[in-house]
Amino acid sequence: MRLSHGFVPTLKETPAEAQIASHRLMLRAGLVRQTSAGIYAWLPLGLRVLRNIERIVREEQDAVGAQELLMPTIQPAELWKESGRYEDYGKEMLRIRDRHDREMLYGPTNEEMITDLLRQSLKSYRELPQILYHIQWKFRDEVRPRFGVMRGREFLMKDAYSVDLDYAGAVVSYRKMMLAYMRTFQRLGLKAIPMVADTGPIGGDLSHEFIILAPTGESQVYYDAAFEEIDYSSGAISHESAEDLQRFFEQMTTHYAATDEKHDPNAWAEVATERRREGRGIEVGHIFYFGTKYSAPMGFKVAGPDGKPVAPEMGSYGVGVSRLVGAVIEASHDADGIIWPDSVAPFKAALLNLKRGDAACDRICEEIYGKLGGDVLYDDREDRAGVKFADADLMGHPWQVVVGPRGAAAGKVELKRRATGQREEVSIEDALARIA
RNA sequence: CGGGGCGUGGCGCAGCCUGGUUAGCGCGCGUGUUUUGGGUACACGAGGCCGCCGGUUCGAAUCCGGCCGCCCCGACCA
């Protein structure tokens, strides 16, 4: 993208409404614009980041055998009346009537809908297990949206639903999702820790919140440093091996980890002092097993091995995709702007032409731009060098290729790594090789 | 949902208390000169029915009433 004709409205000053770093930076770097309280338009740069995160989430879901589908945002109220949640959900649910005065709603989640879809077609235990997911916009009419995209009313969420014949199967599905989540967050450059969450009336121990560490997180968290040594990368654990999954799950759940509301000082005291870690955390995912909470009331049954109908055991698994954009920034920024991890950056590099009109600068920039094309944001604006440096730092591309008349004459460019601030003078070929 | 605050060019703000004729400042934007590796300097210029509706008054950004929007603290949430 050529910045001179790109729609990337950066701001020098911070809009008054933005309180936290990620919100400020998303507005300043031209990623999003608010259109109503808690509702945002994703501008080109922000959308690229959102798509990158979505892609990683999708790849890791697929990797453990989940299947993608896409359910609508608008749902009929009847389904929610069947589960009893139409009344329970309260004002957070955005209720709508169509022209025929039919009661509809903008989905805040999809348990009812997926259950309806599944009950229509799944008739035998032999078709189980199933894990289905979709990445779709949700709406929850929060009383008080805040923190920009981190706590909006409209948000993009990946929600998956597992269906198993029995509890043992549900446990396996649950562990697969936990594995997919850890890999997802790792690829996003985040340190995520699963922390035990409330199971409410369901009971048991199959509910975890995934908390990522960021100085501006909303809750205080405590965990054992042993988490940092667990290897759950692809290859280390097979999602098809129940034994691997069990070993992984035990590793993830035996060490101490809790948010402040579930913090147990006695258990904490048993963690070796040098392994105790504390910090602030942001919830970016939640997985839980809910048994037959929806299958039973909604009449979702399959024939069991003995031919008798059984309500399947289910679970649901959410990742706040749009929230993650903010969360990544919270976890990775400095006074000058965003520092994108390579995996989610809108562009791999910014190409700064410090002197437009200088034959050598123009030629080198065009050559690099021609080779990197869509992966680079070419700052070809007629601005001063300082403006370009500041905007590049603000937008946070992992690399900056600085082409100035000084080096250009000798065929050299300067390569700067945003995360470390390190710069070095290299040849065009080296710069291209390093970035690609 | 309780408590507080704010709506004035694209952004950040002043003016309002103590109504008065061309509504101001910084940034940004346009043109020209200048500068040329970390938001350059100067000049000229464009851009606002002062959130909306109603009221008081000779006169309302300013006073009064209602409405809408947005933000902050708390309770609640992926």
pLDDT of residue A78: 95
Q: What is the pLDDT of residue A186?
A: 94
Model confidence band, residue A230 (pLDDT cutoffs 50, 70, 90): confident
pLDDT value at residue A131: 98
Exposure string of A119-133, with b = 16+ CB inside 10 Å and e = fewer, is beebeebeebbbbbb
> Among A373, A362, A347, which residue's Cα sits nearest to residue A403?
A362
Element (H, E) at A28: helix A21-28
- Check whether A205 has a pLDDT greater than 90: no
A246-281 pLDDT, tens per residue?
Answer: 999 999 999 999 988 888 889 999 999 999 998 889
- Which pLDDT value is given to residue A373? 83
Give the pLDDT band of residue A90 (cuts 50, 70, 90): confident
Nearest DNA or RNA nucleotide to A408 (CA to C1'): B37
Omega into A129 within 30° of 0, i.e. cis?
A: yes
Q: What is the ipTM of this complex?
A: 0.93
CATH of A21-338, one of 2.120.10.30, 3.40.50.300, 3.20.180.10, 3.30.930.10: 3.30.930.10
**Separation between the CA of A16 and the C1’ of B19 (whole angstroms):** 30
Q: In strand B, which positions have an atom below 7 A from any protein CB?
A: 1-2, 10-13, 26-29, 35-40, 69-78
Tell me the nt nearest to A322, Cα to C1': B78
Q: Is the pLDDT of residue A62 over 80?
A: yes
The mean predicted confidence, pLDDT, of chain A is 94
Q: What is the pLDDT of residues A315-337, one digit of tens each?
A: 999 999 999 999 999 999 999 99
| Tokens found for residue A427 | 């040849």
Confidence at residue A237, expressed as pLDDT on a 0 to 100 scale: 92
Res A284 pLDDT > 80: yes
Distance, angstroms, CA A186 to C1' B29? 43
For residue A23, the model assigns a pLDDT of: 94
- Give mean pLDDT, residues A151-178: 96
- pLDDT, average across residues A402-407: 94
Stretch A337-345: mean pLDDT, rounded?
A: 97
For position A19, what pLDDT does the model report? Answer: 86
A347-435: CATH superfamily:
Anticodon-binding domain (3.40.50.800)
Which pLDDT value is given to residue A204?
A: 81
Question: How many CB atoms neighbour CB A58 within 10 A?
Answer: 18
Note the CA–C1' distance, A38 to B58, in angstroms. Answer: 47
Residue nearest to nucleotide B38 (CA to C1'): A386
**Interatomic separation, CA of residue A329 and C1' of nucleotide B3, rounded (Å):** 31
Å between CA of A230 and C1' of B77: 30
Q: Choose the weakest-confidence range: A12-26, A177-191, A383-397.
A: A12-26
Confidence category of residue A413, pLDDT binned at 50, 70, 90: very high
What Å value separates CA A40 and C1' B53? 29
pLDDT above 90: residue A76: yes
A234 has a pLDDT exceeding 80: no
Measured distance CA(A420)–CA(A45) in Å, rounded = 22
Over residues A26-51, the mean pLDDT reads 95
The C-alpha atoms of residue A436 and residue A431 are separated, in whole angstroms, by 9
Average of per-residue pLDDT across A39-55: 97
Q: Given this model, what pLDDT does residue A132 score?
A: 98
The structural domains of chain A, with segments of one domain joined by +, span 21-338, 347-435
Q: Average pLDDT in the A394-406 region?
A: 96
Instruction: Give the closest nucleotide to A286 (alpha carbon vs C1').
Output: B78
Q: Which of A6, A46, A53 is nearest to A23 (CA)?
A: A46
